[in-house]
Amino acid sequence: MKYPKFIGKFHVRNCSFKNILKMLTNRNIKGAFGYKYGGDEVEDIENIKKKKFEELMKRIKERELKAKYPSKPIYSDADNFYDIINRYEFVIVDFYADWCYPCHMLSPIIEDLAKEYAGKVVFVKVNVDENQPLALKYNIMGVPTLVFLKNGREIDRVVGYAPKDYLKMKIERYIY
């Protein structure tokens, strides 16, 4: 026979009278009365605390990750290019030239996207006139060219000027 949850002023889990007496005689108050002050409510509070702590830790990790990722494009040359693409998981390389008008049109879009996707994507700008070996390695035939790299490997590219919405669509395809 099961007894009700409340006996006297103590909260008791559903169990037989024999088990209640056994727990009381063994002075196992925790087992007899659920938890320190009363069973399921305290366990629910502990679960809520645990979830809140996990959410807080997740937010802290995201902030730390954003702090490590730059919010502006990085200007690179052959000396530090490979360090950058190996350090970050998702990198978009903008191969540009100073004399290129579409490159100048794309530059503010790249800066806006770098701010918007800080913590998720790193934008790198490489001048093809000053870094011809990199341009040859990535087979750059026209500027501007955006090369999407994930874990150091090319996954996509956009040649020529592209509007911000199109670039956002491309980026979100590979982030999520």
* DSSP-based helix, strand, coil % in the chain, nearest 5: 45, 20, 35
| DSSP for 15-77, written as a single string | --HHHHHHHHHTT-HHHHTSSSS-THHHHHHHHHHHHHHHHHHHHHHHHHHHHHS-SSPEEE-
Going by C-alpha positions, the residue among 97, 65, 90 that lies closest to residue 170 is 90
Which residues touch 170 (CB under 8 Å, ≥6 apart)?
Answer: 148, 156, 158
CA atoms within 13 A on the CB side of 35: 10
Q: Which of 23, 85, 93, 103 is catalytic?
A: 103
Q: Is 100 a catalytic residue?
A: yes
Are the beta carbons of 92 and 121 closer than 8 angstroms?
A: yes
Q: Which of 100, 140, 143, 167 is catalytic?
A: 100
Q: Is 15 a catalytic residue?
A: no
Q: Are strands 145-150 and 90-96 parallel, antiparallel or unpaired?
A: antiparallel
Residues that are catalytic: 100, 103
